[in-house]
Structure 1
Amino acid sequence: MSHDTHDAVQSGTTPSTPGPHTRRLKLLTVVATFGGLLFGYDTGVINGALPYMTDDLGLTPATEGVVTSSLLLGAAFGAFLGGRISDRRGRRTMILWLAVLFAVGTLICTFAPGVALMVLGRVVLGLAVGGASVTVIAYLSEVSPAERRGRLVTQNELMIVSGQLLAFLCNAVIGGIWGEAGGVWRWMLVIATLPAVALWVGMLAMPESPRWLASRGRFGEALAVLQQVRDAKRAEAELAEVRALAEEDRAAQTAGWRDLAVPWIRRIVVVGLAIAVMQQITGVNSIMYYGTQILTESGFDRDGALIANIANGVISVLATFVGIWLLGRVPRRPMLVVGQIGTFCALLLVGVLSLVLPEGVGRASVVLGLTVTFLAFQQGAISPVTWLMLSEIFPLKLRGLGMGVCGLMLWIVNFLVGLLFPILVAGIGISATFFLFAGLGVCAMLVARAIVPETKGRTLEQLEREFKRAGDPASATAEVTR
């Protein structure tokens, strides 16, 4: 029995048979994940553009941190607002608006004459990145069959790291050929307008999330969408389950902040916030944003660091492929813990060897090898599980709000890492900074073992009922009695 078939049986559904609906689902996934590609490119491009930008705009370590982290601050609010708006207006509509924001933010940054306008453009881009970080995975989660949800949702993570790799490659090529020309960083930035246009055009032809339509009582439209991405029998069975839960939620007459008074919902929000923080305090984005500077500090020259940094992007993509494969075969929770153990060991070794090895290409090569190892565990285990579980654990009526709140927390921590990393390196050095991240990783490991639930092999509706029963024994007893 295949792993997809096993998960379908475990969730109580019949595995989909191949047909036009499977091709439609694949096309939908590719188009929607252009949001992830933009997320990755716009967060990764600063890595190589920053050294050139520093010369042209006269940046200091403090303003470097502000320019880098302004996108992350925008992303925090983008995640929160994007989740709320997508609950009200729909996932597809929100993604269309985000495509426009990506293009506008990119153009502001490209033509920015100084720091102030650059920061404004990065905040606009951040709103788009944050909105995409929660809306795209909510959309994919809600159109995916239970047995393929892990694989399809994690393809967004693959597109994120592919976008970062594309940014690193473009930075290296543009820097290598036109590195002495003024304003070369502007060409690095403007490339992001192309996938923004592709996302907008592609989403015009894509349907709305069937589960969002059901949450609005639009069951006929929801069935029509499900029939595009399921065989006919599976579509009708799935709609019946979605409809029953949507009507139950509507009868409860709550769908907002008031729901936090409900113990089982409050517990899920706490778990979601913990998962979001755990992903960021490993310090992964210190490498994705400042990898070139880390390698320069370790002993590479600027051009060598730009080229060597491509290895970080390559391993991120390869590791994500491994992560997608693993998600179909192993439970989520152990995968998260193993990833945290691996990142902790890599961070600890970076700190130790940066202290004991003399500066030069030898030390830089060792640091590069360890950052690659770190990213293998981070992008192969922690990041895929993080984004997937955030798309799974929240009930339908609160999925946008819950993911928005957790996205807000994730991006605030990301913002703090981006802002403080250059300041910490300047103040206490690379070794102490990585020791700090390693210590935080131990805390994350302990929290993951204590509170993170297992979600593999269940439909979103089954998960909601299980969380509700676990948090409300009286409700569970009443349900059994009925």
Structure 2
Amino acid sequence: MVTRSQKLWCVVLGALFAFDVVDIYSFSYAAPAITREWGLSLHSVGAVTSATFLGMFFGGITGGRISDRIGRKKTIIGAVMVYSLFSLTTTFANTVGFLVIARFLTGFGLQAMTGVLIVYVAEMFPRRSRGRYQSLLLAFGLVGVPIAAWLARLVIFLGPGMWRWVFVLGALGALVGVAAIWLLPESVRWQSLHGDDYRANVTVAKLEAQAKAKTRAPLPAPVEEPTVASGRVGELLRGRNLRNFVVLCTGSVLIAFAFFGYNAYVPILLVDHGYTTSQTLLFASIFSIAAVPGALLAWPVVDRFERKLLIAGTTVVVGALFVVFGVTGGSGMVLAAGFIISMFLQTQTVFLYAYLPEMFPTHLRGVGSGIANGLGRLGVFAGGFIFAPLVAAAGFSGYFITMAVILVIGGAVTGIFGMRSTNRPLVENTSAANARS
């Protein structure tokens, strides 16, 4: 059962994620205007986008490790302040070099927070509903996609330099971060691991009291789960942890590469393919509307079916749609295919976000998920130097066919070699993992 407090936490986390999403998508929507004003090439745009994802790589690893050491809550709040500050700093950019540095540091804070958010949900929500609340968290957050898209569409055409205001919105996440100081408790699993049983028990007792008041009946007997045990980071590279680590890193890199190869580059690629800036921003704005329903599509199935198979199946569907998007000629088909792609990409993200933190024990959950997520962003960083030559060599259609192949391979790796996790206790040691493969 999910209590009143847990629902409030989901709203707070969703609001934090919304500002994260606003900032990630802001540069994509602002890029055509910046390109026009500054006379940038596709390569320069790729370099700035790559800087963001390089920052995400370091942020994912650093944030995950810090959260394992000092706590999930402190890391989330600290990361929010970092990305808010540097999102605001982006508004003062006047050279490509300035943009690169500002976007690198913004990306660092963004991924440090996102990686720990999904860990927090995995640890603080019941196992039979944590997938659904990852879906709801993402849906709340993805409200930021249409907000960023429509703000860009409304503001950018007001005049030169107006694209800067798009990044001001991302900086407002700091306000929610301040509220989170009082509204979010620390993860009880993390507290138990670090010997803070008193405060962990206080949180659990509060949740139990709310559940009893809601049901007006005795609660079911507690289900025993593996002991939260301490350990060293080196365990990440041994036994079943190593298998999970390799599978998730490989799958995350390939899936993220294709995901952002579409989302981060569609506006500029459409312009390069002959569409006007106005048409492109209209298309991007319409695509953005699909994000929230896409996340909510996962709600009825994410806790019902095996997550690794859902990930694999969704990549096949999206891969087929990539091909349609790339080879179709009419603007109507581009619009329809792009809308459906944008929807199912977010459905796929829910499955992946629910799955990642379930693969590692508590003392490695932050760093393990952070590295897997971070390496996915590193793949996108490399892609920033590959995407433009790929478009030049393969053309518009070939580009999206290549993205489809990469995406399906990433899903297949996860679906074939990943561990089952749906409705099962979180992994706390390698022997528990061995029993669940």
TM-score normalised by length of structure 2: 0.91
Structure 2 counterparts to residues 446-465 of structure 1, below 5 A: 446-461=412-427
Counterpart residue identity of residue 339, structure 2: V
Structure 2 counterparts to residues 194-343 of structure 1, below 5 A: 194-231=172-209, 241=224, 245-246=227-228, 249-250=229-230, 254-256=231-233, 258-281=234-257, 283-343=258-318
> What CA distance in whole angstroms lies between the structure 2 residues aligned with 1:160 and 1:64?
25
Equivalent residue, structure 2, for 1:478: none
C-alpha contact (below 8 Å) 1:35/1:136 kept by paired residues:
no
List per-residue Cα deviations over 1:366-398 (Å, max 9, x = no partner).
222222222233222x21111110021111111
Structure with bigger gyration radius: 1
> What CA distance in whole angstroms lies between the structure 2 residues aligned with 1:235 and 1:112?
56
SS for the counterpart of 1:279 is helix
Counterpart residue identity of residue 434, structure 1: F
Equivalent residue, structure 2, for 1:480: none
Moved more, 409-418 or 454-463: 454-463
> What CA distance in whole angstroms lies between the structure 2 residues aligned with 1:204 and 1:105?
24
> What CA distance in whole angstroms lies between the structure 1 residues aligned with 2:318 and 2:95?
37
> What CA distance in whole angstroms lies between the structure 2 residues aligned with 1:260 and 1:457?
23
Equivalent residue, structure 1, for 2:140: 159
> What CA distance in whole angstroms lies between the structure 1 residues aligned with 2:297 and 2:29?
26
Structure 2 counterparts to residues 170-181 of structure 1, below 5 A: 170-176=151-157, 178=158, 181=159
> What CA distance in whole angstroms lies between the structure 2 residues aligned with 1:205 and 1:373?
36
Q: In structure 2, which of residues 11, 26, 32 is the aligned counterpart of residue 51 of structure 1?
A: 32
SS for the counterpart of 1:460 is coil
C-alpha contact (below 8 Å) 1:210/1:225 kept by paired residues:
yes
SS for the counterpart of 1:324 is coil
1:277 offset after TM fit, Å?
Answer: 2.3
Structure 2 counterparts to residues 64-103 of structure 1, below 5 A: 64-103=45-84
Equivalent residue, structure 1, for 2:161: 183
Q: In structure 2, which of residues 328, 332, 338 is the aligned counterpart of residue 365 of structure 1?
A: 332
Identity %: 25
Counterpart residue identity of residue 265, structure 2: Y
Equivalent residue, structure 2, for 1:433: 399
> What CA distance in whole angstroms lies between the structure 1 residues aligned with 2:318 and 2:161?
36
Equivalent residue, structure 2, for 1:168: 149
Counterpart residue identity of residue 195, structure 1: G
> What CA distance in whole angstroms lies between the structure 1 residues aligned with 2:410 and 2:237?
26
The answer as to 2:373 corresponding to 1:407 is yes
Distance change >3 Å, CA 72–CA 261, structure 1 → 2:
closer
SS for the counterpart of 2:40 is coil
TM-score normalised by length of structure 1: 0.83
Counterpart residue identity of residue 190, structure 1: V
Moved more, 90-99 or 445-454: 445-454
Equivalent residue, structure 1, for 2:433: 467
> What CA distance in whole angstroms lies between the structure 2 residues aligned with 1:364 and 1:73?
33
1:337 offset after TM fit, Å?
Answer: 2.2
> What CA distance in whole angstroms lies between the structure 2 residues aligned with 1:84 and 1:370?
39
Moved more, 272-281 or 394-403: 272-281
1:79 offset after TM fit, Å?
Answer: 0.1
List per-residue Cα deviations over 1:186-208 (Å, max 9, x = no partner).
01111112233222323333211
List per-residue Cα deviations over 1:241-281 (Å, max 9, x = no partner).
46x612xx24xxx321x214531111121222133124224
> What CA distance in whole angstroms lies between the structure 2 residues aligned with 1:277 and 1:305?
28
List per-residue Cα deviations over 1:44-65 (Å, max 9, x = no partner).
1112211121233342222111
Equivalent residue, structure 2, for 1:127: 108
Counterpart residue identity of residue 56, structure 1: E
List per-residue Cα deviations over 1:391-426 (Å, max 9, x = no partner).
211111111121121122111112233443234224
> What CA distance in whole angstroms lies between the structure 2 residues aligned with 1:153 and 1:443?
24
C-alpha contact (below 8 Å) 2:427/2:433 kept by paired residues:
no
C-alpha contact (below 8 Å) 1:38/1:102 kept by paired residues:
no
Equivalent residue, structure 2, for 1:13: none
List per-residue Cα deviations over 1:135-163 (Å, max 9, x = no partner).
11111111111121111123332234322
Distance change >3 Å, CA 236–CA 199, structure 1 → 2:
farther
SS for the counterpart of 1:245 is coil
C-alpha contact (below 8 Å) 2:307/2:351 kept by paired residues:
yes
List per-residue Cα deviations over 1:217-256 (Å, max 9, x = no partner).
1111111122233447899976x946x612xx24xxx321
C-alpha contact (below 8 Å) 1:157/1:384 kept by paired residues:
yes
Equivalent residue, structure 2, for 1:8: none
**C-alpha RMSD of the superposition:** 2.4
Could you list the runs of 5+ residues in structure 2 that have no partner in the other structure?
Answer: 213-217
1:454 offset after TM fit, Å?
Answer: 2.1
> What CA distance in whole angstroms lies between the structure 2 residues aligned with 1:41 and 1:418?
20
SS for the counterpart of 1:174 is helix
> What CA distance in whole angstroms lies between the structure 2 residues aligned with 1:445 and 1:135?
23
C-alpha contact (below 8 Å) 1:455/1:463 kept by paired residues:
no
C-alpha contact (below 8 Å) 2:91/2:165 kept by paired residues:
yes
Distance change >3 Å, CA 46–CA 320, structure 1 → 2:
same
C-alpha contact (below 8 Å) 1:276/1:409 kept by paired residues:
yes
